[in-house]
Amino acid sequence: MQITYNLKPALERRTEPFQPTKNVGFGNLRTDHMFLMDYRDGEWCDPRVVPYGPFQVAPGAIALHYGQSVFEGAKAFQHEDGEIYTFRIDKNAERLNLSADILCIPGVPEQIQLDAINALIDVDRLWFPMQEGACLYIRPFIFATEDRLSVSPSEQYTFCVILSPSGPYYSDGFDKAIRLLISERFHRAVSGGTGASKAAGNYAASLKAGKAAAEYGAAQVLYLDANNKQIEEVGAMNHFHVLKDGTIIIPKFTDTILKSITSQSILDLGELLGCEVRQETVMLEQFISDIESGEIIEAGGFGTAAVVSPVGSYIFEDNRVVTVGDGGVGEHTKRIYKVLTEIQKGHIQGPEGWIQHVKRLNV
């Protein structure tokens, strides 16, 4: 499938690399272009890179009424050779199709996804922000466009990719731990539902829980299973904790937990991290007991945006607070963050295939 685009207009709009005078923040900016492709008559067609701008969507579009929409989040980095490289983008393409299948959306062949992302980055490569810790945040998504009010899967869709020039997630440095609310009122997902997908509706459903967390001085909610017995994941990231012997524990993936690409990467990096990384069912009561006894010395979350979010304490809905270690950012957490970000930036050699060069195409 041939993607149609022309580099000349892009080069006319931006002739020099983007050099912001201050931290551009995370997810706030957009580049000049977006990738679009349509699904109709049972197939994906018309792949193209066009100027970034509004969609023309019918008021009766199924995505607007029944939430048939999925998305992904990935990053690209500029290495010391001046070239741009994506990080594990094939895993994102694979997961987008898993999400699509859960919501009865036709998948986009993985190679087409990769070609689309590379083409868009190639067109807008001069938008890479020239500052320490920067990236191009990549947002592919699919939404249902058929104009119909009956409840059934759409027969028409749009696949789109946009880019956000972003600075470091931690603008003041990686030195402050967050607090999480452990809630028995709010649940992210139940077995047999959409919990394992990056469905737009999952994030809409988390907003009220997020507001509740803020009332307790917490950044997000640490969700439990439907029986309030097992730890599952945080609103926008997978959870982890570190035992006093340095072992990293990540809750087992189930159909109520989204498989974070970051978590999967950490599981593959145990040897490089110099410690054991494993998954197991994490029972809440034992987890709290192990924090209080000192068996658990660090905790946090894994996700694309922040990479690693250190957690210093947990608060319950009765205002009971449990502090992990000294409440700060532990040495194991710092090492995890450093190793993974150094791989992303090309300073450390990661496993084969994790880093992919975005080739420059002829104008």
Q: What is the pLDDT of residue 173?
A: 64
Q: How far apart are CA 203 and CA 208, in angstroms?
A: 10
Indicate the SS3 state at residue 313.
Answer: strand
Which residue numbers in the chain have pLDDT < 70? Answer: 4-7, 11, 171-173, 362-363
Looking at the structure, give the CATH architecture of the domain made up of residues 7-168: 2-Layer Sandwich (3.30)
Q: Model confidence over 27-46: pLDDT tens digits? A: 999 999 999 999 999 999 99
d(CA 151, CA 178): 41
Question: Domain boundaries in the chain?
Answer: 7-168, 178-344
Contact 108, 97 (CB under 8 A): yes
Q: What is the pLDDT of residues 205-226, one digit of tens each?
A: 999 999 999 999 999 999 999 9
What are the angstrom distances between the C-alpha of 236 and each of 12, 75, 103, 165, 258? 38, 16, 19, 20, 9
Query: Residue 9's pLDDT is what?
Result: 72
Side-chain-side CA neighbours of 88 within 13 Å: the count stands at 21
CB 288 within 8 A of CB 350: no
What's residue 174's pLDDT? 73
Q: Return the CATH fold of 178-344.
A: D-amino Acid Aminotransferase; Chain A, domain 2 (3.20.10)
